[in-house]
Chain A
């Protein structure tokens, strides 16, 4: 078991893949690490380790390391018996650790029938998902975020803005220094938190008015919301010495709701 770097508090991902050193897996590990996850790989001492021994090592690693999620390859080796070995390991994991999220790394499109069959063999609420090994590291990270379901203490929105969810504080990074934005508190912080947590788990997803209007007051809740969003933009703009337009940072989408777009530096 070789850790790549220290944890920054996001959690731990165990990688079970016979090609754990391949550049494509390393790229995913690198992305996870940059996002603050700690990654561990089941790394056999003997290079000729058989697929069955991988299974034993993986189950041992889960017991020892108690990861927050597992990234498991479907295919172990070229032998026809090992083509779907990962599904056997998955079955063992879900039997012993039914709540442990597992993202299956497939080396080709699974095809509707096979994926449906695997899903059908699991409990309906089993936290198991499938992703093509050719997926971008960004896609893998997004899928893992939702599968594991944790929201981090601090959400970085691009490189300039940080939200400390626990302390309910907003920081702006200017010249390598963090400046607290005092004006964004109370309802305004809650609006920004709602937008930031949705963006973190599902970029592109709109937050509907119905969800945001609970953080506004007065007879015209939508107008009040619009004012608060303008104030959030102005407060951030003042610290960053920028003027935020309608299409910057928080955008209104076709009278449906709002969406967060990180600032482009």
Chain B
């Protein structure tokens, strides 16, 4: 097995020594060449030897840089660079985990206290005053935003890390949709919105993909739908022989054509007026599409806007079923 690092070092040392020997020969040639050797074409042979040594030595040094690439080996600098980037990525992930945990701690405490207070107030039988109820509801409402934002940032760190490989595993898309609906059903119900989902065929079976990544994409789509729908959201799971599809439909007001071209842009948020308090980071759809493409799929959108009575928005995620060969 060739060790490109070792090859590189030795080629430079030997090449350098040969160049040095050539230079010494060229320097000595006028002094001793003529007296020791007979001239050839009026130049002493030591000059020839010196020139050849310099050329061979320089060639060895140049080859030490170019050779490994020609032989299909990585140049040591590239290896160092990629190793460094990988290490950087791991360190970033570790910092992010700590950061996420530490940011989550105060929210867990607030959320725990809020749930405790709500339980005490409910068991007391006293009607909860509107401002207090609104405060308790707001804490619950902001928690899913926090969860999704943190996990968006975490996925973004992973997406931008170098050399991250795509890992496929067997997964049941219907179970994955169930998990997302578990998460958003109570949130939607709070504001009298309904979520319905089904799969065709009803026994959907297994696909080969990255479950966590798909769950992340669909969570972002359902999160958006929960915010903008008027009354209900429908999630439909279908497939053909090569791909499977998840369609997230909502009966919200729709997205105007001049906005729709920007919705997958990084940092774009759907709050249309500057005075609105922003409720999203604008990362969700950008990450969702990036993840879909990373796994060989696509995320598209179609929307019909008000005043059309059929106004709605539908996102379609298509991904290869990825049956291993």
Residues of A contacting B105 in the complex (Cβ-Cβ under 8 angstroms): 107
Name the residue of chain A whose CB is nearest to the CB of B102.
A108
The distance in angstroms between the C-alpha atoms of A124 and B170, with both chains bound, is 9
Q: Which of A108, A119, A143, A256 contacts B182 (CB 8 A)?
A: A143
Q: How far is the CA of A11 from the CA of B100 in the complex (A)?
A: 34
Chain A residue numbers with a CB within 8 Å of B154 are 109, 111
Q: Tell me whether B181 and A134 are in contact (CB under 8 A).
A: no
Q: What is the interface residue range for chain A against chain B?
A: 35 or more
Complex Cα distance A210/B203, Å? 11
Interface residues of B in 68-84 (CB under 8 A from A): none
Q: How many A-B residue contacts, CB cutoff 8 Å?
A: 123
Decide if B179 is an interface residue (CB 8 Å cutoff): yes
List residues of chain A with CB within 8 A of the CB of B147.
109, 132, 134-135
Report the stretch among A22-30, A49-57, A176-184, A224-232 that lies at the interface.
A22-30
Is the CB–CB distance between A24 and B183 below 8 Å? no
B195-235 contact mask (Cβ, 8 Å, vs A): 1 or 0 = 11110001000000011110010000000000000000010
Closest to A117 in B: B167
- A253-B196 contact given A24-B108, A208-B202, CB 8 Å threshold: yes
Instruction: Give a binary string over A169-194; 1 marks a CB under 8 Å from any B CB, 0 the rest.
Output: 00000000000000000000000000
Q: Are B97 and A202 in contact (CB under 8 A)?
A: no
Question: Which residues of the partner chain B approach A203 to less than 8 Å between Cβ atoms?
Answer: 181, 185
Q: Is B116 an interface residue (CB 8 A)?
A: yes
Kindly list chain A residues whose C-beta atoms are within 8 Å of the C-beta of B196.
204-206, 253, 259
B289 at the interface (CB under 8 A from A): no
The answer to whether A134 and B143 touch (CB under 8 A), given A24-B111, A113-B158, A143-B179, is: yes
Taking the complex as formed, is A116 at the interface, i.e. its CB lies under 8 A from any CB of chain B? yes
Q: What 1/0 mask marks residues of chain B from 98 to 137 whose CB sits below 8 Å from any chain A CB?
A: 0011001101110111011001000000000000000000
Which residues from chain B contact A261 at a C-beta distance below 8 Å? 194
* Nearest CB of chain B from residue A81's CB, rounded to whole Å: 14
Of B115, B150, B216, the contact of A137 (CB 8 Å cutoff): B115
Q: Select B178's contact among A119, A146, A208, beta carbons within 8 Å.
A: A146
CB–CB B140/A136 < 8 A? yes
- Kindly identify which residue among A24, A138, A205 contacts B112, using a CB–CB cutoff of 8 Å: A24
Does B155 reach chain A (CB closer than 8 Å)? yes
Complex formed: what's the CA distance from A109 to B154 in Å? 8
Whether B115 and A24, one on each chain, are in contact in the complex, defined by CB atoms closer than 8 angstroms, is yes
Interface residue? B146 (CB, 8 A): yes
Indicate if A248 sits at the interface (CB-CB under 8 A): no
Which of A114-166 touch B at CB < 8 Å?
Answer: 115-116, 119-120, 124, 132-139, 142-143, 146
B119 touches A30 (CB 8 A): yes
Whether B186 contacts A111 by the Cβ 8 Å rule is no
- The answer to whether the Cβ of A38 comes within 8 Å of any Cβ in the partner chain is no
In the complex where A116-B167, A143-B182 touch, is A27 in contact with B119 (Cβ < 8 A)? Answer: yes
Given that A111-B154, A124-B170, A253-B196 are contacting pairs, would A134 and B202 also be in contact in the complex, using a CB cutoff of 8 Å?
Answer: no
Q: Determine the distance from Cα of A119 to Cα of B90 in the docked complex, in whole angstroms.
A: 20
Q: How far is the CA of A24 from the CA of B104 in the complex (A)?
A: 12
Between-chain CB contacts (< 8 Å), 9 pairs: A22-B108, A22-B109, A23-B116, A75-B101, A111-B93, A203-B185, A204-B185, A205-B198, A206-B197
Given A108-B150, A111-B158, A205-B197, list of 13 further CB < 8 A pairs? A22-B109, A23-B111, A25-B112, A26-B116, A109-B150, A113-B167, A115-B212, A134-B104, A135-B147, A136-B140, A205-B198, A253-B196, A261-B194
Interface residues of B (CB under 8 A from A): 93, 97, 100-101, 104-105, 107-109, 111-113, 115-116, 119, 140, 143, 146-147, 150-151, 154-155, 158, 167, 169-170, 178-179, 181-183, 185-187, 194-198, 202, 210-213, 216, 234
